[in-house]
Amino acid sequence: MAEVILFAREPLPGRVKTRLAPALGADGACELYRAFVADAVAEWCARPGFRVTVAHDPDPVPTPFLADLCRAHGASLVAQSGAGLGERMAGALRDRVAASGAPALLIGTDLPTLPCAHLDAALHLLARHPLVFNPATDGGYYLAGASPAALERWDAVRERLFTGIPWSSGATLHATLARKGDLDVALGPPWHDVDGPDDLDLLRAHLRRHPAPPLPHTRALLAGWGWR
């Protein structure tokens, strides 16, 4: 069984999806992110072969929303630990791989249309490589994965791939790969997240064309807004 780590933030206006605020307002961006989180936890917990952990930003202390959501779907809820995003991601991957002895995939909660096949592809790569990144179309990456073999050189992994990286930029993946040195890193299939106003049109078009995944919370919210 593979580990899936969902990085999530407490859905509070002005703290999540701030780049969507010009199009949706702070409250609307928060509502959409809340729907994304609810759908992501339900979707990945329902997939056979995945054990899901939601790793939440420890600031602020989570409200019952995340705890109730994880309890309803059988996911674990843990706090992220570390001084910055890179340290938090590296720590979450290391902890889950070490605890389970299985490969772990870390993804965000702003990927409502992400195909399960893209996670399967990453797992297939981890059978031959200790590390995998799935590129995002904005120049970052939406998935980071590690196998138990990666733990043998984890100090190098943490220092090279998760330290000194320009996060949330168009250069994130390029900078990561430029620092890998002799680490064996594979690249999975690309995908897109929902981060800025232009991504909303892509989301709406995708949902119109594809009945799956179900995404009940996201679809209901958009329908309530009159978006078709």
Other Cβ atoms less than 10 A from the Cβ of 206: the count is 14
**CATH classification of the domain holding 103:** 3.90.550.10
pLDDT at 63: 76
pLDDT given for residue 211 in this prediction: 83
- The count of structural domains within the chain is 1
Within 8 A by CB and 6+ apart from 104, the residues are 2, 3, 4, 5, 92, 93, 96, 97, 145, 146
Q: Tell me: the pLDDT tens digits for 51-85? A: 999 999 987 776 799 999 999 999 999 999 999 99
- Banded pLDDT at 36 (limits 50, 70, 90): very high
How many whole angstroms separate alpha carbon 83 and alpha carbon 63? 22
Q: What is the pTM of this model?
A: 0.96
Confidence tier at 48 by pLDDT (50, 70, 90): very high
**Mean pLDDT rounded to a whole number for the chain:** 96
Domain that holds residue 86: 2-224
pLDDT, one tens digit per residue, over 144-183 is 999 999 999 999 999 999 999 999 999 999 999 999 999 9
Is the pLDDT higher at 13 or at 213? 13
**What span, in angstroms and rounded, lies between the C-alpha atoms of 72 and 228?**
29
Contact between 113 and 218 (Cβ < 8 Å):
no
Run of H or E including 175 = helix 172-178
pLDDT tens track for 194-211: 999 999 999 999 999 988
